[in-house]
A = this chain, B = another copy of it.
Amino acid sequence: MADPVPATALQMRSLVTPDQTVELSLASVEVPTPGPTEVLIRVEAAPINPSDLGILLARADVLSATIVGPSDSPVVTMPLPDAVMRLMAGRVGISMPIGNEGAGTVVAAGSAPAAQALLGKTVAAAAGGGMYAQYRCVDAMFCLELPVGTPAIEGASSFVNPMTALCMVETMRRENHAALVHTAAASNLGQMLNRLCVSEQIPLVNVVRRPEHEDMLRSAGAAYVCNSAAPRFAADLTAALKETSATLAFDAIGGGRLASQILACMEAAASTSGGSTYSQYGSAVHKQVYIYGSLDPGPTELTRNFGFGWGVGGWLLTTFLGQIGLEGIARLRSRVAAELTTTFASTYTGEVSLAGALTLDALTAYSRQATGQKYLMRPDL
């Protein structure tokens, strides 16, 4: 706390250039003085989430990277294919800061009581990016004060994944479903959702792709785990859907036929539940899949062999938060704070410094997005 705040500090940047490259670098920027309601955070830990990778890498292939410059200030350049370049049209020439969330120590604060109250405290924050930096100035209202003694690392992922898990459950309730399906269920988020559903006694059907992930989730109390790579997948999933009556799925994968398979199994589960007569339009049960990630960026293929009571759509945390409003957000955030080291705990595969993140080894490791692996940015290292 006694460390003097420097005049300038490092901030990671990603720039798509007109000549079809993306350039990653560390900019030396002026450290801002907090406005009346703001606090200056010395960032100590920020997770590398898929949403951060989207901005950082601009869909470039890290294997094509060339890196120049000194090891404490490397510049990474990667070419962008035509198709990707079209998608990036809106950000050409804009040097973008990165990092949706993180945690650290408040080293300066504005005059407002809410800001002053945080001085010297360890806080987590999510406020529109820019946490991959040594210092970040944010409004005090976006900060979550961590319990005394909690290291910044434990609060780094206190927003994106916890709020996503909670909002999946909120969506389920608002749209009158009784249970959930989740794909890529062995991810950090998936494990969190599993703990949340176990504690709330919400039936959750976990879909994974590897046997070891089945075991891991079952050890964590999951009652339903289906392996999409197993030959019995359709039968297993249908049985689980019938038992749970789950008619809502959240899919992190996006591409391919998984969403379609889930809808078809939901329809099969609804049709065998008996009582209804034949209809060419299928069961009267509404079946919904929300795609919230894009681990497979290929097209989503829907075979439409599941009647007419179905929907598939994009799902975005920020859009949903807009729907539940400030009061709803506050309620969810206080729940996160109370269970940060239990229900909403995250684990990390490795840590990288700002400069260390811009090496080929590190880029290759954290860009892989292997299920259950997550890296932590440590701007203080």
Contact = CB atoms under 8 A, between A and B. Distances in A.
Contacts of A278: 90-91, 94, 96
A349 interface: no
Chain A contact surface mostly: mixed
Contacts of A314: 304, 307-311
Contacts of A281: 316, 318
A311 B315 CA distance: 9
A263 to B, nearest CB: 10
Contacts of A310: 313-314
B302 A294 contact: no
Given A94-B278, A278-B94, A308 B315 contact: yes
Nearest to A319: B309
A294 B299 contact: no
A61 interface: no
A87 interface: yes
Contacts of A60: none
A299 B308 contact: no
Contacts of A373: none
Contact of A271 (B90, B308, B313): B90
Nearest to A293: B308
Contact of A312 (B277, B294, B313): B313
Interface string A295-325: 0010111111101111111111011000000
Given A278-B90, A316-B281, A319-B284, A299 B304 contact: yes
Nearest to A59: B280
B280 A55 contact: yes
Given A90-B271, A284-B319, A302 B305 contact: no
B291 A304 contact: yes
A129 to B, nearest CB: 11
Contacts of A315: 308
A266 to B, nearest CB: 13
A26 to B, nearest CB: 21
Contacts of A303: 299
B316 A308 contact: yes
B312 A312 contact: yes
A309 B300 contact: no
Interface string A312-350: 111110110000000000000000000000000000000
A54 interface: yes
A317 to B, nearest CB: 10
B308 A319 contact: yes
A140 B55 CA distance: 63
A47 interface: no
A302 B304 contact: no
Nearest to A58: B280
Contacts of A312: 302, 311-313
Given A96-B278, A281-B318, A300-B302, 13 more contacts: A54-B280, A55-B280, A90-B271, A284-B319, A297-B304, A299-B304, A300-B301, A301-B302, A302-B312, A304-B314, A309-B319, A310-B313, A311-B314
28 contacts: A51-B280, A54-B280, A55-B280, A87-B305, A94-B278, A96-B278, A254-B304, A255-B304, A281-B316, A297-B304, A299-B302, A299-B303, A299-B304, A300-B301, A300-B304, A302-B302, A304-B314, A308-B314, A308-B315, A308-B316, A308-B319, A309-B314, A309-B316, A309-B319, A310-B314, A311-B311, A311-B312, A311-B313
